[in-house]
Chain A
Amino acid sequence: MQKLLEAITINFIKDNRYLYIVTGFKNTMIITFFATIIGIVLGLIIALIRTTYDNTRKLKVANAICHIYITVIRGTPVVIQLMILFFCIFTSRHVSGVMIAIIGFGMNSAAYVAEIFRSGLMSIEVGQMEAGRSLGLSYLDTMRYIIIPQAFKVVLPSLCNEFIVLIKETSIAGYVAVQDLTKGGDIIRSRTYDAWTPLLAVAGIYLLLTCIFSAFAKRLEQSLRKNERTNNG
């Protein structure tokens, strides 16, 4: 017990070292939050283009671009993408590491989210689209009011899974000198030479984050299922 208190004092209290964790936590949250938004928006656009092509054979060029995008992004490690963005593409000093991490993780996540959305959109039976169109709704309106709301419910669990992966994936942002949660722990480790305490603390915070996120996603899932018939009903 004495030893534990001592370890906590040295690793977090002395020289205000807990600030490394606080800043790291803040940066991890910022990166995850904005990357999630980019991922969902870009992912949805890609998924819509791909399904539209599959259904109507329109948007041929856009579909080809999306296809290449997904192939490249899914086919290369995210840490390499991040370093290419940092060292080769955004070489201006005005683009901060956090910004690059947001763009990198957002673009990476979009490729996966696109495929998740696409599987959801494809899972809705053709009759729904036909019904919408026969009632006089345009293709986009049918998508927006009929297909997407149903598809969203289907993809929610895998979408939630993707974002849990994303939270943890941001831990490689330290490669481009971003002080995220993992790097914060690493800096403390490099000052105190104690491996256990900072690593366990950082692991605990990630676990807590993903638990909170899963709980939130579960509630959302339940509230979306309110209109469904129950098994015994």
Chain B
Amino acid sequence: MKKIISLILSISVLALLVGCGSKSTVASTDTASSETAAKPKQKLILCTNAEFPPYEYKEGGEYVGIDIECAKLIGEKLNAEIEIMDIAFDSLIPTIMSGKADFAMAGMTVTEDRLKNIDFTHTYQTAVQTIVVPQNSDITSVDDLSDKKIGVQTGTTADIYCSDDFGDEAVERYSKIIDGFQAMKAGKVDACVVDDQVAKAIVAQDGGSFKILSSAYAEEEYAIAVKKGNTELLNKLNNAIDEIKGSGQLLQIVNKYIH
């Protein structure tokens, strides 16, 4: 009896060792193959929030928009393949910090707080925060926004500015800005604050129920976010941005989407 037990035990120990051994060899070949595959063309993961036309959105299953095309162009300059990761806007920075993605382009404004956690490249686009209201609204400027309900996208600069200026109670935070516009249509919020080009794109698509106020809420500049300390990628991206800015390619892309 004892012999049988010891036999079973030793077999199982042996099986365990063999199992572990084979596993580790598989893992090592895996990494080796991915390294060799990556050598000719590097892969860069772009994380974005594709709910933000005309900067990034989906059309017919494809990711399109200014940021997406810029990223692809930059990819060409860096001889890298761009892989897109579509996540919520408020998860972009943690994703960059964790290293799950290499860089973020999502109409992201440079702010002091963000700079504490990530690095920004040179800016590539100027944007204005605008106020959108229903067609028949009596709101005409920023001053009329007090005591009103304001729809924003969680974690955007619009959210941060409005929360600071009008208090948390005044701000309704949606995961997508489109939901904010729908809530405005349903009469649940009085105004939405969003980047001007996004506002234009949505208002144009909607056809008549909203208007954009001529007085801007705030001005700001977009840049690409990378992990803090990743100076190698930061410098490469900066060079690429300067290049496409200088050559007019950036303007070309912008003109394609913004008329």
The residues of B that contact A23 with a CB separation of less than 8 Å are: 168
Q: Is the CB of B175 within 8 A of A87?
A: no
- A186 near B187 with CB under 8 A, answer no
A177 and B173 contacting across the interface, CB-CB below 8 Å: yes
A190-207 CB contacts (< 8 Å) to partner B? 190-195
Is A109 an interface residue when CB atoms closer than 8 A count as contact? Answer: no
Asked if B154 CB lies within 8 Å of chain A CBs, one says yes
Q: Is A191 a contact partner of B187 (Cβ separation < 8 A)?
A: no
Q: Is the CB of B90 within 8 A of A87?
A: no
Q: How far is the CA of A189 from the CA of B186 in the complex (A)?
A: 29
Mark interface residues in B199-228 (1 if CB within 8 Å of A CB, else 0): 000000000000000000000000000000
Question: Given that A177-B174, A193-B97 are known contacts, is A186 also in contact with B90, CB under 8 Å in the complex?
Answer: yes
User: Please, how many residues of chain A have a CB less than 8 angstroms from a CB on the other chain?
Assistant: 23
Roughly how many angstroms separate A200 CA and B19 CA in the complex, as a whole number? 36
B187 touching A91, Cβ below 8 Å? yes
Q: Which of A1-41 contact B (CB under 8 A)?
A: 19-20, 23
Chain B residues with CB below 8 A from A187, complex form? 154-155, 173
B155 touches A191 (CB 8 A): yes
Instruction: Bits for B131-166, please: 1 = Cβ < 8 Å to A, else 0.
Output: 000000000000000000101001100011000000
- B94 and A91 contacting across the interface, CB-CB below 8 Å: no
Do residues A175 and B97 form an inter-chain contact, with CB atoms below 8 A?
A: no
Contact (Cβ within 8 A) B187 A92: yes
Q: Which residue of A lies closest to B96 (CB)?
A: A193
- For residue B119, CB closer than 8 A to chain A, the reply is no
Query: Would you call the interface of chain A mostly helix, strand, loop, or mixed?
Result: helix
Name the residue of chain A whose CB is nearest to the CB of B164. A15
A233 to B172, CA, bound (A): 60
Return the contact of B188 from the options A91, A179, A195 (Cβ within 8 A): A91
Chain B residue at minimum C-beta to C-beta distance from A90: B186
Is residue B118 within 8 Å, beta carbon to beta carbon, of the partner chain? Answer: yes
Q: Which residues 92-108 in A have Cβ within 8 Å of B in the complex? A: 92-93, 97
In residues 74-98 of chain A, which contact B (Cβ within 8 Å)?
Answer: 86-87, 91-93, 97
Enumerate chain A residues within 8 angstroms of B175, measured Cβ to Cβ: 174-175
Does the CB pair A183–B173 fall under 8 Å? yes
Q: Which residues of B sit under 8 angstroms from A175, Cβ to Cβ?
A: 175, 179
Within 8 A of B (CB), among A125-149: none
Across the interface, A191 reaches (CB within 8 A) one of B98, B160, B179, B188, namely B160
With A91-B188, A193-B93 known as contacts, the answer to whether A177 contacts B183 (CB < 8 A) is: yes
- CA–CA, A189 to B159, complex, Å? 13
Whether B58 is near chain A, meaning CB under 8 Å from some CB there, is: no
Top 8 closest pairs, chain A to chain B, by CB: A190-B155, A190-B90, A91-B186, A193-B93, A177-B172, A195-B94, A193-B117, A93-B187
Closest to B190 in A: A93
Tell me the nearest residue of chain A to B94, going by C-beta: A195
User: What's the Cα separation between A221 and B169 when bound, in Å?
Assistant: 41
| Cβ–Cβ < 8 Å partners of B179 in chain A | 87, 175, 177
The docked-state distance in angstroms from the alpha carbon of A190 to that of B159 is: 10
Contact A87 B183 (CB under 8 A): yes
Having A23-B168, A183-B154, A193-B114, one finds 8 other A-B pairs with CB under 8 Å, namely A19-B168, A86-B188, A87-B183, A93-B188, A186-B154, A187-B173, A189-B155, A191-B155
Q: Which residue of B lies closest to A87 (CB)?
A: B182
Chain B residues with Cβ under 8 A from A177's Cβ?
Answer: 151, 172-174, 179-180, 183, 188
Q: CB distance A191 to B174 under 8 Å?
A: no
**B residues in contact with A20, CB < 8 Å:** 168
Q: Is the CB of B183 within 8 A of A191?
A: no
Q: Which residue of B lies closest to A19 (CB)?
A: B168
Distance of B28 from chain A, by nearest CB (Å): 31
Q: Determine the distance from Cα of A92 to Cα of B114 in the docked complex, in whole angstroms.
A: 37
**Given A191-B113, A193-B94, A87 contacting B186 (CB threshold 8 A):** yes
Complex: how many Å from CA A190 to CA B174? Answer: 12
- Can you name 29 A-B pairs with beta carbons within 8 Å? A20-B168, A23-B168, A87-B179, A87-B183, A87-B186, A91-B188, A93-B149, A93-B187, A97-B188, A174-B175, A177-B151, A177-B179, A177-B180, A177-B188, A179-B173, A183-B173, A186-B90, A186-B154, A187-B154, A187-B155, A187-B173, A189-B91, A190-B154, A190-B159, A191-B155, A193-B94, A193-B114, A193-B118, A195-B98
